[in-house]
Amino acid sequence: MSDQVVVVTGGGRGIGRAICERFASHGAQVVAASRSVDELESVKATIKQSGGRCDIQTVDVSSTSDIDALIATTLKQFGRIDVLVNNAGVAPFCTIEQLEPSTFRSLTSVNIEAVYHACRAVWPAMSKQQGGVIINISSVLSVDTFTGFSAYGASKAWVSGWTRGLADEGESLGIKVYAIAPGAVETKLLRATFPDYPSDQVLAPSKIADVAFSLTEPDVSHKPGETIFVRPESA
């Protein structure tokens, strides 16, 4: 992937970091985007120590102007974007009575609106290139949610539906769109809510990175528009 440019939102830690490292290990020019400068610097240092290439951009995906700047700056610097991974997300754990309007707006701005804005921003460049891959991170909770995650699960169901429709739009342009729906993944986000979640029922972030990378390979077995569910073997 030496000529490929890969943009990853939420690239500072967890699944996003693993995806950045996976693509960089195969020679891609990675652009990691996140709100945390410290986390981004850590990702960049790790990738560069391994001989990879990583550029970082501080981005708040709830800001449309930040997303536009991420895409525009990447195109100006590298001339193309081959892969966009919409990974940034929030997962407030609360019942409807606890779910304040401000929290709901924050969730939708990150989990829904940011995905829309990033896809829309990168679409003209990928159309001009006559090719590209967009990977949206959904969740198994999109089809199997429970108390406390109603809003989160619904937002991820939107991601899967958006992916199906967008893949149909991109077919004639050579743009492939997929979604990955992981089960529980070993991240700070998981442990902040469920510190005692059984380790044997948790996926390593690298497992999601493996799936993401496979979706960019020429012999990919999944069809554009598909949501690929990834669950721990013991689940």
Q: pLDDT of 92-148, one tens digit each? A: 999 999 999 999 999 999 999 999 999 999 999 999 999 999 999 999 999 998 999
What Cα–Cα distance (Å) separates residue 95 from each residue in 146, 148, 151?
10, 5, 9
What is the C-alpha separation between 204 and 14, in angstroms, rounded? 9
Return the percentage of the chain with pLDDT > 90, whole number: 86
- Per-residue pLDDT, averaged over 167-185, amounts to 95
Q: How confident is the model at residue 201 (pLDDT cuts 50, 70, 90)?
A: confident
Three-state SS sequence of 50-106:
CCCEEEEEECCCCCHHHHHHHHHHHHHHHCCCCEEEECCCCCCCCCCCCCCHHHHHH
Three-state SS sequence of 161-221:
HHHHHHHHHHHHHCEEEEEEEECCECCHHHHHHCCCCCHHHCECHHHHHHHHHHCCCCCCC
Write out the catalytic residue numbers.
152
pLDDT of residue 129: 96
Q: pLDDT of 13-55, one tens digit each? A: 999 999 999 999 999 999 999 999 999 999 999 999 999 999 9
Q: Which amino acid is at 99?
A: L
Length of the chain, please?
235
Domains of the chain: 5-230 (3.40.50.720)
In the predicted model, is pLDDT for residue 1 greater than 80? no
Q: Which of 192, 180, 199, 100 is nearest to 142 (CA)?
A: 180
Q: How confident is the model at residue 190 (pLDDT cuts 50, 70, 90)?
A: confident
- Per-residue pLDDT, averaged over 142-160, amounts to 95
In the predicted model, is pLDDT for residue 82 greater than 80? yes
Residues 6+ apart with CB under 8 A from 146: 153
What is the C-alpha separation between 194 and 8, in angstroms, rounded? 26
Q: How confident is the model at residue 204 (pLDDT cuts 50, 70, 90)?
A: very high
Strand ranges in the chain using DSSP code E only, listed in sequence order = 5-9, 29-34, 53-58, 83-86, 132-137, 175-182, 227-230
Q: How confident is the model at residue 159 (pLDDT cuts 50, 70, 90)?
A: very high
Task: List the 53-58 sheet strands across, edge first.
Answer: 53-58, 29-34, 5-9, 83-86, 132-137, 175-182, 227-230
Q: How far is C-alpha 20 from the chain's CA centre?
A: 10
Return the percentage of the chain with pLDDT > 70, whole number: 99
Q: Which amino acid is at 33?
A: A
Q: Quick one: tokens of 82?
A: 């081959």
In the predicted model, is pLDDT for residue 191 greater than 90? no
DSSP label of 148? T
